[in-house]
Structure 1
Amino acid sequence: MHFFLKIGLSLIRMKNLSLLFAAFIFIVFCTVTIYLIEPDTFESLLTSFYFVMTTFSTVGYGDYSPVTGAGRLFTVLMYLLGIGLLGVVIGKIVDSFSIFRKRKEEGKLAYTNENHIIIVGWGKKTETAVEEVLSSDSFSEVVIIDTLPTSPIDVAINRVHYVQGDASEEETFTRANIKKAKSVIIFADDTIQVPSLRDAKTLTTAITVERLASHVHTTVEIMTKKQIPNFSHVKVDEFILSQETTSLLAVRSAMHQNVSTIVTQLISRSRGEDLFEAKVDPKWQTYGDAFHDLLASGATLIADRQQMDINRRLHEDIPSDAVLYVICNEDTHRKLITKSINHL
């Protein structure tokens, strides 16, 4: 008994790779040996392998069994050693899954996919943003960066990954695979009460993003408009003035009823008509060509990047770097995508 206990403890202390290699060697040894001892009983190595595995797993169907004394004695020794070895291997595999899930919950695993959206900072705004991404696109994945001890979102949601760490450190963004990300959203830290300090932390994070992946589209939330010049040396693609945007929307809603409802509908994919990007068709020469062609498809052209005066520039040629935006429903947008692919 002491002998088998000693062997069991030695197996448990073995490294996973060494244990798997030892199990493989032992199974091959048993398969070949029992076949050589009783070649008439076990017609092939495949049959002897089948017998060895059913014996190790204690299934024991009984369709194959040794008939000689040597074969039975070897089977007993094989069983005593094999069942312990297989049990340890299975235990190690179960432990590996548990460790993997624990590390994923703690945000210790690196993200390896591409074209994902990185969101810095957890809060109610992040939660809403994640829900919007998941509902808007059935393929996009989100990586959340924060210092929380465990993931704020259930790790069973495969399209959301959590990375724990300081957003001002390179190692954190490296684990988030920032160089292959599609975009980065940096929300202001709600735990900091002073607006200027919140913007200072956001600026530090933006500098880190710029240094590691300047090609990635970056959207930053800032608290006060006067802080924008401080971001002048950082390549931030878009700013969101949190307080000012809310105030302006509230005023417009008070002056013109339902304005806030319309704006919310346009920026959310939850219902009705939405705002989409439309690929430029090579056959379009002017904005007028694009406007009338899109209108016939059920979409309304409203802007080229930040320029929303398309209706007064229909006679102008579309520039090569144009980024057109339309208002339409999801079905129309899918048809436009299919149409643009067919024209390629």
Structure 2
Amino acid sequence: MKVHLHQAIQWYFRTPVFLRLFLTVAFFMIFFGAVIHWVEPDAFPTIFDGIWWAVITGSTVGYGDYVPLSTFGRVIGIFLIIAGGGLVTFYMATVSASTVKYERNLSEGKVDYRGSNHIIIVGWNERTKQLLNMITDYIDEENIVLIDKSLDQLGYQEYKLHYVNGDASEDKTLKKARISDARCMIITSDPSKEEHQADQISILTTVAARGMNPDLFIITEILLKNQVTNARRAGADTVIRSNDFMSTLFFHELYREAHIKPFDTLVAQLSSQQYKQITVPDEMVGETFKYCALSFLEQEELLLGMEQNGELYINPPSQSILKKEDHLIVLSNLSE
């Protein structure tokens, strides 16, 4: 008996504060309800009537539908107001304080993510904001977790994401983001670092993520061309060389007057299109690139290239045979 009592006491003190308070309040209400029923059975015909009176009195609501008539019953009511009323008030204050603290921790990135099948984005910058806006505009439901160590807080009501504060290359941070149940991870380059240092951080983060989730699809942004191979060795499924892409846009914008009409609108056209990377559909496995390109054209989509054996090919030979493990690069309208 003593052993069970000791275990019960240990369990009680190990529970969260608000739960302990709730159990204490519930015990007092039941206790006083049972006592008043025993003292005045005529005024309180059932134990539930007594509990109802105890809850209404202890919470200082006081409907007056049940009242003690005897002196002893009123003394019990006085003790209930002194003990139970204070406990109820303290419980409500504790719950309110816990709610405020939870919301503050949520904004400061201190709360672990509990979902699954989500996308993890590393780094808070303009590219991340634009990506979030695109996802919000064109994807109905998507769970996103942001990992960043530079932000003191991020309004969880302003952005549709879960914020985790910390270094994405550390296991404890990745665990808080629940990387084991994530579907995809996007690692953006840190704009506050030098290019070589930023690439090293991205590669280190890729290694850590791959080690904790071998099946995770990882997209890594790399600035220097000579670091692309290292990013792939680290476990990146797709490597984005943002410097090359931006340089191409700058070049076409700078010299567009020297180009024929179709090139003049290159930047404008890109803004209304979206690139998709998809696995080869089962019905296209073993078919030629030309056959697949025609199939996509019938759907008003443009097949640009493919990723095969870790290499990206834009406009490959038309007779190239597609394999099941290949990925296709498709251009389609954002409105679709």
Partner of 1:101: 103
Unaligned runs of 5+ in 1: 1-13, 268-273, 333-344
Please give the alpha-carbon distance, in whole angstroms, between the structure 1 residues aligned to 2:295 and 2:241: 35
Please give the alpha-carbon distance, in whole angstroms, between the structure 2 residues aligned to 1:290 and 1:39: 85
C-alpha displacement of 1:52 = 1.4
Report Cα offsets for 1:1-37 as digits up to 9, x if no partner.
Answer: xxxxxxxxxxxxx944433332221111012111222
Partner of 1:148: 150
TM-score, normalisation: structure 2: 0.79
Partner of 1:5: none
C-alpha displacement of 1:190 = 1.1
Quick one: which amino acid aligns to residue 151 of structure 1? Answer: Q
Please give the alpha-carbon distance, in whole angstroms, between the structure 1 residues aligned to 2:214 and 2:52: 57
Change (3 A) 1:257 1:237: same
How many residues of Structure 1 are paired with residues of Structure 2 in the alignment?
A: 308
Please give the alpha-carbon distance, in whole angstroms, between the structure 2 residues aligned to 1:39 and 1:158: 58
Quick one: which amino acid aligns to residue 82 of structure 2? Answer: L
Partner of 2:272: 265
Question: In the alignment, is the contact (CA less than 8 A) between 1:181 and 1:216 conserved in 2?
Answer: yes
Partner of 1:137: 139
Q: Could you tell me which of 37, 53, 59 is aligned with 1:51?
A: 53
C-alpha displacement of 1:102 = 1.6
Aligned residues with identical type, % of pairs: 24
Confirm whether residue 220 of structure 1 aligns to residue 220 of structure 2. yes
Please give the alpha-carbon distance, in whole angstroms, between the structure 2 residues aligned to 1:28 and 1:60: 17
Quick one: which amino acid aligns to residue 262 of structure 1? Answer: Q
Change (3 A) 1:94 1:18: same
C-alpha displacement of 1:323 = 4.9
Question: In the alignment, is the contact (CA less than 8 A) between 2:232 and 2:239 conserved in 1?
Answer: no
Quick one: which amino acid aligns to residue 81 of structure 1? Answer: A
Please give the alpha-carbon distance, in whole angstroms, between the structure 2 residues aligned to 1:65 and 1:239: 75
Report Cα offsets for 1:147-199 as digits up to 9, x if no partner.
Answer: 135223x112574111111222111111011111111111111111x211221
C-alpha displacement of 1:214 = 2.5
Matches within 5 A, 1:293-312: 298-300=299-301, 302=303, 305-306=306-307, 312=318
C-alpha displacement of 1:45 = 2.7
Quick one: which amino acid aligns to residue 114 of structure 2? Answer: T
Please give the alpha-carbon distance, in whole angstroms, between the structure 2 residues aligned to 1:206 and 1:218: 7
Partner of 2:7: none
Please give the alpha-carbon distance, in whole angstroms, between the structure 2 residues aligned to 1:22 and 1:144: 39
Change (3 A) 1:61 1:242: same
Matches within 5 A, 1:1-344: 15-152=17-154, 154-157=155-158, 159-192=160-193, 194-253=194-253, 254=256, 255=259, 256-267=263-274, 275=276, 277=278, 280=281, 298-300=299-301, 302=303, 305-306=306-307, 312=318, 319-321=323-325, 323=327
Q: Secondary structure at the match of 1:233?
A: helix
Please give the alpha-carbon distance, in whole angstroms, between the structure 2 residues aligned to 1:111 and 1:278: 29
